[in-house]
């Protein structure tokens, strides 16, 4: 069983999918910490309901971005975390933290990367006029949404879509592939080979 931390900023629907699957015993991972940069995040209420230890603290209360991420590091180390899952965590990690947890941080992004990195990906996809979009689980490196890709899922873009309806359709797939990617990591089946992630067969 690996020890999992989830970093969130908002609603927490991916967090919920992860906690549900972990509680059902399907992840091979024990959620040991949910951490948010927003003490008011609904995701924290959800984590408490699942009896997972939480910490909600805004960078402002601790003196800015750098002290905030030092605190994050301290808490992750203290909780002896094996894997960090960013689930709607809307901040870019400092390079030193990425290095400290090299290939032990996953992120979910609501587009088929490398298309539409950064903020408002469903809106970017609609404005570009693509027919298909989706979501990507990837390892975090020093870039913005640039790390090696673990899993992707595609969804159609429909004529009447708004950014909200497209994002909701994409989220359904996120809730399926994020727990799956965490399970593959927990089972030791992900091997990084340059930009590619090889998924080993189950033993
Ligand atoms: C998700 O759609 C996730 O892909 C996106 O934020 C949403 C969080 O929803 N993440 C990003 O855009 C990261 N750049 P949730 O709080 O309900 O899981």
Residue 138 Cβ inside 6 Å of ligand 1? The answer reads: no
**Residues 106/138, Cβ–Cβ less than 8 Å:** yes
Stretch (H or E) spanning 84? strand 83-86
pLDDT in tens, 75-97: 999 999 999 999 999 999 999 99
The residue whose CA is least distant from atom 12 of ligand 1 is 109
Ligand 1 centroid – CA 87 distance (Å): 6
Residues in the chain predicted with pLDDT less than 70, given as ranges, are none
Give residue 25's pLDDT: 95
Stretch (H or E) spanning 20? helix 13-23
Cα–Cα–Cα angle for 113, 191, 121, rounded to 5 degrees:
15
Counting DSSP H helices and E strands in the chain, the numbers are 6, 9
DSSP class of residue 113 equals T
Mutate to test the pocket of ligand 1, among 87, 118, 125 (most ligand atoms within 8 A of CB): 87
Give residue 203's pLDDT: 80
User: What total number of domains does the chain contain?
Assistant: 1
Distance between CA atoms of residues 124 and 118, nearest Å: 9
The residue whose CA is least distant from atom 5 of ligand 1 is 88
Distance between CA atoms of residues 93 and 131, nearest Å: 31
Question: Which residue segment(s) compose the domain that 86 sits in?
Answer: 2-199
Domain containing residue 82: CATH number:
3.40.50.170
């Amino acid at each position: 069983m690996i020890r999992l931390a989830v970093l969130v900023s908002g609603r927490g629907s991916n967090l919920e999918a992860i906690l549900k699957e972990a509680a059902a015993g399907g992840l091979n991972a024990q959620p040991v910490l949910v951490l948010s940069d927003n003490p008011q995040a609904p995701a924290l209420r959800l984590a408490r309901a699942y009896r997972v230890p939480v910490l909600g603290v805004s960078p402002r209360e601790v003196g800015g971005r750098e002290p905030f991420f030092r605190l994050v590091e301290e808490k992750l180390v203290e909780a002896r975390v094996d894997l960090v899952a960013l689930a709607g965590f809307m901040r870019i990690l400092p390079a030193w933290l990425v290095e400290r947890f090299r290939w032990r941080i996953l992120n979910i992004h609501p587009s088929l990367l490398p298309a539409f990195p950064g903020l408002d990906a469903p809106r970017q996809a609609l404005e570009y006029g693509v027919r298909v979009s989706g979501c990507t689980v990837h390892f975090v490196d020093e870039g913005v949404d640039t790390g090696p890709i673990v899993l992707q899922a595609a969804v159609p873009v429909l004529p009447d879509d708004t950014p909200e309806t497209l994002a909701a359709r994409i989220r359904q797939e996120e809730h399926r592939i994020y727990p799956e990617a965490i399970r593959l990591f927990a089972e030791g089946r992900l091997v990084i080979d340059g930009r590619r992630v090889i998924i080993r067969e189950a033993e």
